[in-house]
Amino acid sequence: MKLTNLHIGYSTTLLEIQELNLEAGKIYALIGANGRGKTTFMKTLIGQIPAISGGISIGNKASSVLSPIEKSKLFGFVQSRFAGVPYMKAKEYVALGRSPYTNAFGRLSTKDEDIVNQSFSTLEIEHLADKFTEELSDGERQMLAIAKVLTQETQYIFLDEPTAFLDYSNKKKVLDKLTEIAIKLKKTIVYSSHDLELTLGHSDELVCIAHEGNDVRSFRKNEIEFEGLVRFCFGVNSPN
Amino acid sequence: MRVKKNRFLLLVLLVILPIAFVCHFAAGEISISWSTFTDAWLHFDSSNSEHLIVREFRFPRFVMACLAGSALSVSGLMMQTLFNNPLAGPYILGINSGSSLFVAISLMTGFTFFQNDFGLVSSALIGALVFGFIILGISFKIKQGISLLLIGLMLGSFSGALISILQYLSEANALKMFTLWAMGSLQQVQTAQLPFILLLFFLGMIASFFIVKPLNAFVLGETEAELLGISIRNIRLLIILITAVLTGLVTAFCGPIAFIGLAVPNLVKIIFKTQDHRILLPASLILGAVFLVFCDIVVQLFAETLPLPINAVTSLIGAPMVIYFIVKRIAR
């Protein structure tokens, strides 16, 4: 996915991206203070919000020409919290990720069933399959939401603050799994966070939104200078 | 395992329906033998009053109970899924208020669209469709289902107020007629009207079976459904259209029947413990029919001592159920 001269926002430009390449097999952390447009940024990339100007291209194709069903086979999006649904079992939930591929009545083929089971085993959460989604913990539900997006078999996976509602050990667990998935399954993963310390160990590149203005800059892992990064994103000096 | 169990439960419901039919037939005020029942169809004698009772009263009443129960339950299920709210029902959209308002106008001011037997029916149907289209028009502008729900409630209060004014101004006889209609009845349908009702009913049902997949995605909310490649505007439009036709049809012929659309889908979810509409839809269809036939059996049993309107019975059974759901959900 390639972004060039992209202007993002609703009526006025909120963010401006000169150039950014999102590659397969890599994991990107989108860093920015609260209310700076992380979600808007991601929703624009998956085509839910139209860009003000500039382009998003995938291969040689502009993303603006994609149909809803094409988008659903290309982009997966995990919302920051899945609160569970009454009477819905984990397996039923994860299987909904197959919707773009199933027939008019949503019937799962044996291949679809295999993909669902595969997602559970990739995330090592097979033991949750027959439980009701409402009875699980936040950490377990976050894993389920990731399993669902895996069954959707999209090249691009976007996650909106996937660790916001989790305790430290679950935060680490989720980010470890995402890093592993990016490498093993050659996915392009982008997740947003304002937890700078945690993301450093769990990303190939940091995409940073400035604390004021429209600037968005990306930093490779080896070129990160922590102090400057904190000032750029949050407008304060690092406490360390 | 669960799938097999659910199929078995569906089968059980299907078996209960003919049993309910037998009870419903037997509960009638005048007892009629089963041989007379078959004779009424095979060797019809128009001078035989028992044959006439079977063909013109018992049978259409049973069919109407089934259709009304099914139509309201399926509408309720789709509303609850669309609005992601277990307390939604066909009434919440204001479709039923549209029917009531138009019937009130035609009964109490004398204005009708057609001057014939179909006068009242056409008013109710037109009212349902008019309010359905108002909601539909608004749904193009508004993305959030919850706002639509509020607008539906506003339409309900608005027409409720207009009806109160009409009631206050109207003369005693017209007021009585409207009150009777508003109580609901399964007895107003004539055998000759059944083909028309069946046609609309089946059209609505077939359409709803073709949107089970989007309905399943809607359970996760509209944002998630959109991410799964579903065109939410089209599906929302379809759901509102199907609900308007099904609810309008029932309200036109039976008056406003309360609570079934709210209570039955919740009951189905508790029994079947799933959110898969491939199960929920047929289950609501059958359980809705069984529930209303059961209520009508109660009406028939008390007919001599205490003539109960069907709407009172559905509410008497439905209201405690709804209270139970709310308490159970919040207490968790």
Closest residue to A96, CB basis, from B212, B217, B270: B217
Do the chains contact at B230 and A68, CB–CB below 8 Å? yes
What distance, in Å, lies between the first and last C-alpha atoms of chain B? 27
Residue A2 belongs to what H/E stretch? strand A2-9
Q: Give the pLDDT score at B143.
A: 64
What does the alpha-carbon distance between residue B153 and residue B92 come to, in Å, rounded to a whole number? 6
Could you give the percent of chain A with pLDDT greater than 70?
A: 99
Contact B86 A69 (CB under 8 A): no
Angle at the Cα of B11 from the Cα atoms of B9 and B13, rounded to 5 degrees:
75
Residues of A at the B interface, defined by Cβ within 8 angstroms: 46, 48, 68-69, 71-73, 75-77, 79, 85-89, 92-93, 96-97, 99-100, 102, 104-106, 132, 152
Task: Give the Cα separation of B183 and B177 in Å (integer).
Answer: 10
Task: Check residues B164 and B307 and name the one with the higher pLDDT.
Answer: B164
Domains of chain A plus CATH, in order, are 2-88+152-234 (3.40.50.300)
Chain A contact present for B229, CB below 8 A:
yes
What does the pLDDT look like over B258-282, one tens digit per residue? 789 988 998 899 888 899 999 999 9
pLDDT surpassing 90 at residue B232: no
> Which of A88, A96, A132 is the closest to B228 by Cβ?
A96
Residues of B within 8 A of A69 (CB-CB) are 229
Question: Which helix (H) or strand (E) is A173 found in, with range?
Answer: helix A168-184
Q: Enter the tokens of residue A229.
A: 């990064």
pLDDT higher at A237 or A93: A93
Q: Which residue of A has its CA nearest to B209?
A: A105
Q: How confident is the model at residue B114 (pLDDT cuts 50, 70, 90)?
A: low
pLDDT of residue B332 exceeding 60:
no
pTM score: 0.89
Taking the C-alpha atoms of residue B119 and residue B274, their distance in angstroms, rounded to an integer, is 43
**Which positions ≥6 away from B26 have C-beta within 8 Å?**
none
Mean pLDDT of the region B285-301: 93
Average pLDDT across chain B, whole number: 86
Question: Domain B59-331 adopts which CATH fold?
Answer: ABC transporter involved in vitamin B12 uptake, BtuC (1.10.3470)
Which residues of A are less than 8 Å from B273 in CB distance?
A: 87, 132
In this predicted structure, which of A7-21, A113-127, B112-126 has the lowest mean pLDDT? Answer: B112-126
What pLDDT was estimated at residue B88?
78
pLDDT at A212: 84
How many angstroms separate the CA atoms of B21 and B190, rounded? Answer: 18
Contact status of B7 with chain A (Cβ, < 8 Å)? no
- B234 conformational bin, left if phi > 0, alpha if psi -120 to 50, beta if neither: alpha
ipTM here: 0.90
Contact A180, A1 (CB under 8 A): no
pLDDT at residue number B184: 83
Q: A104 CA to chain B: closest CA distance, Å?
A: 7
Q: Which of A213-227, B10-24, B89-103, B139-153 has the highest mean pLDDT?
A: B10-24
Structure tokens at B187: 């007895």
The answer, yes or no, to whether residue A196 has pLDDT greater than 60, is: yes
Average pLDDT over residues B143-149: 72
- Determine the average pLDDT of the residues in A59-78: 90
Domain ranges of chain B: 59-331
Whether the predicted pLDDT of B115 surpasses 60: no
A79–B86: do the CB atoms touch at under 8 Å?
A: no
Contacts of B238 in chain A (CB under 8 A): none
pLDDT for residue A240? 57
From chain A, pick out residues whose CB is under 8 angstroms from the CB of B269: 86-87
